Amino acid sequence: MTTESSVGAAPQTSGLTHRQILTIMSGLLLGMFLASLDQTIVSTAMRTIADKLNGQTAQAWVTTAYLVTSTVSTPLYGKLSDLYGRKPFYLFAIAVFLLGSLLCGQAHSIYELAAYRALQGLGAGGLLSLAFAIIGDLVAPRERAKYQAYFTSVFATSSVLGPVLGGFFAGQATILGVTGWRWIFYVNVPIGLAAFYVVFRNLTLPRRRTDHRIDYVGAALLSSTVVPFLLLAEKGREWGWSSPTSLTMIAIALVSFGLFIPRESRLGEDAILPLRIFRDKVFSVVSVVATLVGMVMFGGLVLMPLYLQIVREESPTRAGLMMTPFMVGLMGSSLVVGRLMQRTGRYKIFPIFGTAVLFVGMLLLSTLKVDTPMPQVMSYMVVVGVGLGLTMQMLVISVQNSLPPQDMGLSTSSVTFFRSMGGTLGAAVSLAVLFGTVVGNIKERLLDSPYKDLAGQINSAKLDNTTSLFGTLPGPVKRLVLEGFADSMHTVFLVVAVLVIPAFVLTFFVKEVPLRTTGGLAAQREQLDGERAMAETAIV
C-alpha cells in the first residue's frame, strides 16, 4: 500500500539532515561525474589515441565498447540493488570503473583499450543509475527534484568539460613523464577514490535479505537482445544496413527477445525485468517518452560539436567551451523546477512545457547557417538546455513515485536504460542522415556555381578526406562545401524536431500520482508495518 500526499502535506526524508544528504550526494555526484565525463572526454582525443596505438581502423570500438556495457548493465544494477542493497553495488561500480580506468591508461593496442573501456562501462552502468535510486531511498519525491537537479547539472557540466579536457590532454606530449592522452583515464583515479571514501563512510542503508534467485538466463537474454541492437546502431552505417553482418545482428536480437519475454513472464518477481512494471501506465508511457527524449537529446547534441568544428571551424577545445550555454540552460531550468515542485507538489506540467520548449529549440537550430552570429547560436542552445532541464528529472520522479517503493532501483535504472537506448538510436539516426545527405548537398551547391566541375570529385571522395582538405580549398569553394554541411545539419535538426512531437503528446497521458510524503526506505517500512497490522487483525 503506497502512502500518498496531498499538495499541502509536509514531506519527510529518511531522518537525515539537509547537510548529511548533501555530504552523501557529494560522493554520488563525483561518481556520476566520472561516468558521464567518460562518455565525452574520449571523443575529441580519439584520433590522437588511434595514431599513437596504430588503430585508426578500429578506433570506433573504443567508444562503442563503453556504450554497450554501460547501457546493458544499467537495468541489472537496478534489479540486483533492489534485492541485495544499494551501497555495496555502488561501491562495486566505482571499483570496477577505477580498475578499468587504470587499465585503459596502460593499454598498448587499440583492442586492449576497447576491452578496458568495456570494463569501465560495466562500472559506469551502476554509477549512472544507482545514484538516482539512492537519493530516491533517502528523500521524499516532493523534495527529490531539488536534489536531482544537482545530478542534471553534473551531467551538463561533464558534457561541456569532456571535449575540453580530452582535447587538452591529447594535445600534450607528456605530463609528469606520462603520455598526455593517458591522463584522460588516470584523472579518474583521485576523483573515484574520493567518491568511494565519501560513500563508504557516510552512506548507511539497511541490509537486505531476500529469498529471490538471480535470473542469470534472463540477464543473458536481455544482453543478447540489447548488444546487437547497440552494435547495429553504432556500426550499421559502416557495415551497411542490409549487409550480412547487420542482418545477423537483427536476427540475434529478435531471437533473444523472443526467448526473453516468455521467460520473464514465467519467473514473475524473480525476473531480471519483471513484466508487471509495464502494466503500470505511468511507467509504460514514461518509458516511451524517455526513449524519445534520449533520441532528441543525443541526436541533436551530437551535431552541435560538428557544426562548431566543421562549419564554424572551431578547435575541439573551443567547441566544447562554446557548448556552455546549453549547460546553463539545463542547470538553470533544473534548479527552478526543483524549487517549484517542492513548493507546489505538482510535476506533470513540467515535461509538457519542457518538450514544447525542446521542439522550439530544435526548430531554431535547424535555421543555423555558415554565418549565423554566434550569440544567436548560443541563445538557441540555451533554449534546448531549458527544454531538457524541464523534462529529464521529472520523468525519473514520476516513475519512482508511481511504482512501489521496493522497486526504486528497478524503476530508476529502467528509465535510464530506455533513455540511453534512445540516445544511441538518436545519435545513429542523426549521423546516418547527416553523412547520407551531405555529399549530395555539397554536389548540389557546386553544380549551381562556377565550380561545377568539382562536383564529381566531391561525390566520389571519402568524406573524412574531404573535411581534412577544407583548409586547402579556395575560399569560394570552401564556402560552398561548408554550406552543404549546414544544409544537411538543417535536415537532421528537423528530423530530430519531429521526434519531439510524439513525446509532447504522450506527456499529456502521464498520470500525475500524488507525491509520497516519505523517501523510498521510509515508504517501504510504512508498507511493511501496514501489512503486519492487517495480518495481526486477520488473526485476531
Q: Round to the nearest angstrom and report the end-to-end CA distance of the chain.
A: 21
537 is written with which cell numbers?
487483525
Per-residue pLDDT of 459-479, as tens digits, reads: 544 455 444 455 566 778 788
**Contact status, residue 323 vs residue 126, Cβ threshold 8 Å:** no
Name 284's Cβ contacts closer than 8 Å, sequence gap at least 6. Answer: 278
Residue bearing the bigger pLDDT, 433 or 536: 433
Residue 386 reports pLDDT greater than 50 = yes
SS3 (DSSP) at 178 = strand
Beta strands at 174-175 and 178-179: parallel, antiparallel or unpaired: antiparallel
Q: Which residue has the higher pLDDT, 535 or 454?
A: 454
* Whole-number Å distance between alpha carbons of 319 and 346: 37
Q: What is the pLDDT of residue 259?
A: 92
More confident residue, 501 or 241: 501
Please choose, from the candidates 218, 217, 247, 222, the residue with its C-alpha nearest in 3D space to the C-alpha of residue 232: 247
Place of cell 547537510: 19
Distances (CA, A) of 502 to 25, 352, 402, 521: 34, 11, 22, 35
Give the DSSP letter of residue 310. Answer: I
Indicate if the pLDDT at residue 86 is higher than 60. Answer: yes
Query: How confident is the model over 328-339, as a mean pLDDT?
Result: 86
H or E element that contains 425: helix 408-447
- pLDDT bracket for residue 189 (50, 70, 90): very high
Confidence of residue 3 (pLDDT cuts 50, 70, 90): very low
- Please name every residue paired with 174 in a beta bridge, in sequence order, or none if there are none: 179
Q: Residues 42-59: what's their mean pLDDT?
A: 76
What's the whole-model pTM score?
Answer: 0.82
Q: What is the pLDDT of residue 466?
A: 46
pLDDT band at 350 (very low <50, low <70, confident <90, very high): very high
Q: Kindly state the cell numbers that stand for 467.
A: 573535411
pLDDT tens-digit profile of 96-139?
999 999 999 999 998 899 899 999 999 998 998 888 888 888 88
Instruction: Name the average pLDDT for the chain.
Output: 82
One-character DSSP codes across 203-230: ---------PPP-HHHHHHHHHHHHHHH
pLDDT band at 533 (very low <50, low <70, confident <90, very high): low
∠ CA 313-314-318, rounded to 5°: 175
As given in the structure block, the three cell numbers for residue 430 are: 542523426
State residue 495's pLDDT score: 92
pLDDT score, position 353: 94
CA 337 to mean position of chain CA atoms: 20
Task: Name the residue with higher pLDDT: 425 or 526.
Answer: 425
The C-alpha cell 503506497 sits at 2
The secondary structure of 145-207, three-state, reads: HHHHHHHHHHHHHHHHHHHHHHHHHHCCCEECCEEHHHHHHHCHHHHHHHHHHHHHHHCCCCC
DSSP character for 45?
A: G
Per-residue confidence at 375, pLDDT binned at 50, 70, 90?
very high
| Dihedral sign computed on CA atoms, order 138, 222, 424, 254 | negative
Q: 3-class DSSP state for residue 411?
A: helix
Q: Identify the pLDDT of residue 10.
A: 39
All three cell numbers of 521, joined, read: 526506505
